[in-house]
């Protein structure tokens, strides 16, 4: 009887071991699963953005936001961070620049008409205005019509040997003013004897007058000697220093 019991017990052990092994293999590894959950990175919340809708007349203008192309008008740009953004709308009719404030969850609207503006140039003498080698002609109101955008203008007077460059921004339907203020040239007057020097009815000193500052342009010059007698001149003073030697003989 005891031998039979041992045999029965041994049989049970023989049958149970494969079952126990299989159960252990299919049992989930709780330690590994729990560890992977602890090591997972949290999902970052979506950043707030706003939307910009751009239209233009004429349509089909290139739209740039903060220096990057974002399509052609009409254009909807849905992924802009809140804050101020630089907008450029460029077409064959000209270029318009705007600064737009974007708010999270809202849509900002920009609608621009792209048409000409003008520049009025004020100078103390006659000047020629050009851009890119092309001479620009003012109209009867002394206005130079230009497409909107930034323009690099050259202002010159060949007689006075004067030339300067100016950057001007023209806005649609608006006027810009350009005032030319050249630096003065210099006047030197010498004579064999002491004499008064008058420029445009204002006394500037006695000879010798050395490197007196004088505005560019045409002036009336009078040199009067103490013993009597004078010399009158009409002088054109340009960018280069001007020198006059007076002879009373």
Where in the sequence of the chain do the CATH 2.60.40.1120 domains occur?
50-113, 117-179
| Class of the CATH domain delimited by 117-179 | mainly beta
**Out of 3.90.730.10, 3.40.309.10, 3.30.465.10, 2.60.40.1120, which CATH number does the structure's domain 50-113 have?**
2.60.40.1120
Enter the CATH code of domain 185-246.
2.60.40.2200
* Number of residues that make up the chain: 249
The long-range contacts involving 104-107, CB below 8 angstroms and separated by at least 24 positions, are 104/48, 104/49, 104/50, 105/48, 105/50, 106/50, 106/51, 107/50, 107/51, 107/52, 107/53
CA-closest candidate to residue 240, choices 149, 160, 155, 131 = 160
Mean pLDDT of 130-143: 93
Residue 35 has what pLDDT?
45
Portion of the chain with pLDDT greater than 90, in percent: 69
Q: Give the integer Cα–Cα distance in Å for 208 and 15.
A: 132
| Model confidence band, residue 31 (pLDDT cutoffs 50, 70, 90) | very low
* Summary mean pLDDT of the chain: 85
Q: Which of 112, 113, 117, 105 is nearest to 87 (CA)?
A: 112
């Amino acid at each position: 009887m005891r031998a039979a019991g041992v045999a029965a017990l041994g049989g049970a052990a023989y049958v149970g071991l494969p079952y126990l092994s299989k159960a252990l293999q299919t049992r989930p590894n709780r330690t590994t699963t729990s560890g992977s959950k602890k090591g997972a990175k949290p999902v970052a919340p979506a950043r707030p953005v706003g939307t910009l809708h751009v239209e233009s007349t004429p349509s089909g203008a290139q739209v740039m936001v903060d220096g990057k192309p974002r399509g052609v008008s009409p254009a909807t740009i849905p992924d802009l961070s809140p804050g101020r953004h630089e907008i450029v709308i460029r077409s064959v009719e000209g270029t318009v620049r705007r600064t737009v404030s974007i708010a999270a969850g809202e849509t900002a609207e920009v609608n621009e008409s792209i048409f000409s503006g003008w520049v009025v140039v004020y100078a103390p003498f006659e000047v020629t205005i050009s851009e890119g080698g092309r001479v620009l002609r003012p109209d009867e109101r002394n206005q130079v019509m230009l497409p909107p955008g930034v323009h690099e203008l050259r202002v010159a007077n060949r007689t006075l040997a004067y030339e300067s460059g100016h950057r001007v921004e023209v806005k649609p339907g608006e006027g810009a003013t350009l005032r030319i203020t050249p630096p003065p040239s210099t006047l030197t007057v010498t004579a064999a004897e002491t004499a008064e020097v008058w420029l445009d009815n204002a006394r500037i000193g006695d000879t010798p007058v050395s490197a007196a500052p004088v505005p560019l342009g045409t002036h009336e010059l009078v040199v009067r000697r103490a013993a009597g007698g004078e010399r009158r001149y009409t002088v054109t003073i340009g960018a280069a220093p001007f020198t006059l030697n007076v002879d009373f003989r």
